[in-house]
Structure 1
Amino acid sequence: VASEALVTLRMLGNDAEHLYDVGVAGIHRLLARRETLFAARVVIVVAGMEGALPSVVGGLVDRPVIAVPTSVGYGASFGGIAALLGMLNSCAAGVTVVNIDNGFGAAVAASMINRE
């Protein structure tokens, strides 16, 4: 899903950088890349499990965050429903949620933000 978003962003002419494996369970890896996050005009956050990562990123940056829940997960992920509901319940301002596994839709929205 993240690769779909990245390829779509680049196909639409965006200069996009990716950060992989920077989830809530390894928050130190996210914080180590905070300069990259702060430099972005918009951030797409793809996450599964409980979907907490977009809220964390949304609390760190003053940019739009597009949250993409994934259907991949274990335990009670319910095919991405758990992540989707967690993202929809985010208290971080500026977090917008697209549908499960919709990396393409997130990239199109981010591209439109980048063109403003």
Structure 2
Amino acid sequence: MNPSRPTPVEPDPTDKALHRLSCASIIETCTLASLLFIAVPLKHLAGFPAAVSWIGPIHGITLVTYLWLLSTSFANPIFTRGEILRLLFSAIIPGGGFFNIGLFKKKQVALKLGLTQ
């Protein structure tokens, strides 16, 4: 091992899980907004039902992925029960995931400082 080269540090698994959850939250929010504000109006106003057929399954996959990642948070004491409920309800509100960005940043800082909850 070369002493002049620093050894790579493995990222904390909790930090990786938090990053995945935050990305999934934003992606889920974007797909819900595109489904409700682009695809559904195209279907009903322009007679283009294929838009819902394309975006609907994409949103379904992202929603299930987000809920799965959120359910893994129960095993990890990153979030309180109230915060988990907040993250859960934000998934059904168009644009709700954007309100969680501050929470994710706060949790990332707490992890870096070694604080829990």
Using the size of structure 1 for normalisation, the TM-score is 0.30
Report which of the two structures shows the higher radius of gyration computed on alpha carbons: 2
Specify which structure has the higher proportion of strand: 1
Structure with higher helix content: 2
